[in-house]
Amino acid sequence: MSDSLKRVTTKGIVWSSIERFSVQGIQFVIMIIMARLLTPEDYGFVGMLTIFLAVSQSLIDSGFSQALIRKQNRTEVDNSTVFY
């Protein structure tokens, strides 16, 4: 069973790495294309939005939604906290 667990774990790590690097690579290419098409002011605005989206994504990934799913007695305050 440990060989199977090792194989599954390795496979999961490889696929997660491929997914992460491909997303970052695609985002990099898109930003290069946008830099060529937009004016410097517009590209700066997009850069500011990108920072905001990165912070928002880190909050989403921090586990609020998973904690809400696992919580037995959810209140409306819990739901709105995760939503906002």
Residues 6-30 have pLDDT tens digits of 888 999 999 999 999 999 999 899 9
pLDDT in tens, 27-66: 899 989 999 999 999 999 988 998 999 898 887 777 777 7
Written as six digits, the tokens of 27 are 């985002």
pTM of the model: 0.56
Could you give the CA distance from residue 38 to residue 41 in angstroms, rounded to a whole number?
A: 8
**∠ Cα 66 69 73 (to 5°):** 130
